[in-house]
């Protein structure tokens, strides 16, 4: 089934201990859509400027991403510049130029309005709400957010969250949103805001899924080379939602598989700059890494010896 994403399409400049790149393809919608397109048809709502290279548009089209909702506006494309140290978990933002993104008002083409799976990328919660106003009876609405909105636009965020089924956040965001340090209690507090499922992203430490009373924990794949973590979170969400969108039923087991597939895809993204690794990764590689996750985490039952 199709999957709608609204978010940013950007030109990123990134410095890591392993090199730097200028004005490469980035943005939450880009990473999400490219990843999800391995699994399901994707519809994108986003905006770019006059300077956005046509080659990037061609790449997205080649991934069978529906770009009817991608508008080109006068001005420049959204730009983000960041740096990572050896501690690759968190980026230091050096510069943000919103450009055409500043006046972004997501408008859905008529053909998008009945999309069953919706992912609201990390944009202003009011804009996320405007997207929900335009979709009809979605099967599942997922959203991402960040501390900037949690602290600066709490009212609007809570309004949007009341319409969201599944929230993706990291540890710090979950704690800030819930006002609760313990992560189990934080997830329970977020349930009371609307979402019935919460995914906690923990970077190199993996991810947690709170699905009502059920709990799933997955470590990240230990890589001997992490090149550029940019886009890992959106890649995770893309693999997760892409997996859900292709599953006949939405069971708890499917959500677990979606967690693994999200982690599989994110583990590829960080191996190279920008979308370089996602551009070249093959389905057999994806299947192999899924199997490696199984090997990584599997253990046999044991019977403790009586004392």
The answer to whether residue 116 forms part of the interface with its own copies (CB under 8 A) is no
The site string for its own copies over 67-96 (x = CB under 8 A, - otherwise) reads: -------------------xx---------
Contact status: 223 vs its own copies (CB under 8 A): yes
Q: Does 298 bind its own copies (CB under 8 A)?
A: yes
Residues 6+ apart with CB under 8 A from 185: 178
Task: Compute the half-sphere exposure of residue 108: CA atoms within 13 Å on the CB side of its CA.
Answer: 22
Using CB under 8 A as the binding rule, whether residue 140 contacts its own copies is answered as no
Going by C-alpha positions, the residue among 150, 90, 148, 157 that lies closest to residue 120 is: 157
Check residue 307 for interaction with its own copies (CB under 8 A): yes
Q: What distance in Å separates the CA atoms of residue 189 and residue 1, rounded to the nearest whole number?
A: 31
Part of the chain binding its own copies (CB under 8 A), chosen from 4-12, 98-106, 144-152, 182-190: 182-190
What is the distance between the alpha carbons of residues 104 and 210, in angstroms, rounded to a whole number?
Answer: 32
Is there binding between residue 248 and its own copies (CB under 8 A)? no
Residue 72 or 205 having the CB closest to its own copies: 205
Question: Closer CB to its own copies, residue 46 or residue 255?
Answer: 255
Q: Which of 206, 250, 271, 276 binds its own copies (CB under 8 A)?
A: 206
Q: Is 256 in the site for its own copies (CB under 8 A)?
A: yes
Rounded Cα–Cα distance for residues 273 and 99 (Å): 23
CA 101 to chain centre: 18
What's the rounded Cα separation, in Å, for the pair 169 and 180? 14
Q: How far is CA 49 from CA 91, 199, 272, in A?
A: 25, 33, 26
User: Binding residues for its own copies, per CB under 8 A?
Assistant: 37-40, 64, 86-87, 181-185, 188, 202, 204-206, 208, 215-220, 222-226, 243, 246, 253, 256-257, 259-261, 283, 286-287, 290-291, 294, 296-307
């Amino acid at each position: 089934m199709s999957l709608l994403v609204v978010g940013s399409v950007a030109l990123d400049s990134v410095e890591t201990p392993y090199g730097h790149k200028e004005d490469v393809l980035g943005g939450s919608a880009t990473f999400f859509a490219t990843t999800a397109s391995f699994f399901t048809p994707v519809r994108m709502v986003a905006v770019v400027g006059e300077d956005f290279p046509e080659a990037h548009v061609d790449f997205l089209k080649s991934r069978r991403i529906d770009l009817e909702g991608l508008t080109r506006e006068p001005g420049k494309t959204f730009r983000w510049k960041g740096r990572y140290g050896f501690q690759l978990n968190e980026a230091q933002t050096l510069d943000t130029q919103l450009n055409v993104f500043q006046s972004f008002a997501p408008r859905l083409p008529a053909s998008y309005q009945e999309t069953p799976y919706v992912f609201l990328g990390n944009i202003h919660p009011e804009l996320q709400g405007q997207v929900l106003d335009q979709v009809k009876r979605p099967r599942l609405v997922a959203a991402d957010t960040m501390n900037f909105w949690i602290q600066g636009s709490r009212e609007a965020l809570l309004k949007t969250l009341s319409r969201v089924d599944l929230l993706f956040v990291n540890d710090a965001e979950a704690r800030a949103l819930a006002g609760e340090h313990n992560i189990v209690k934080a997830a329970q507090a977020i349930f009371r805001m609307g979402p019935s499922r919460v995914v906690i992203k923990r970077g190199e430490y993996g991810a947690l899924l709170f699905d009502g009373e059920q709990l799933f924990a997955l470590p990240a794949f230990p890589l001997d080379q992490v090149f550029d973590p940019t886009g890992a979170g959106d890649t995770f969400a893309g693999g997760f939602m892409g997996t859900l969108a292709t599953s006949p039923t939405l069971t708890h087991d499917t959500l677990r598989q979606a967690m693994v597939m999200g982690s599989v895809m994110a583990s590829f993204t960080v191996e190279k700059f920008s979308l370089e690794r996602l551009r070249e990764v093959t389905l057999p590689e994806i299947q192999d890494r899924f199997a490696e996750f199984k090997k990584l985490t599997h253990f046999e039952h044991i019977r403790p010896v009586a004392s």
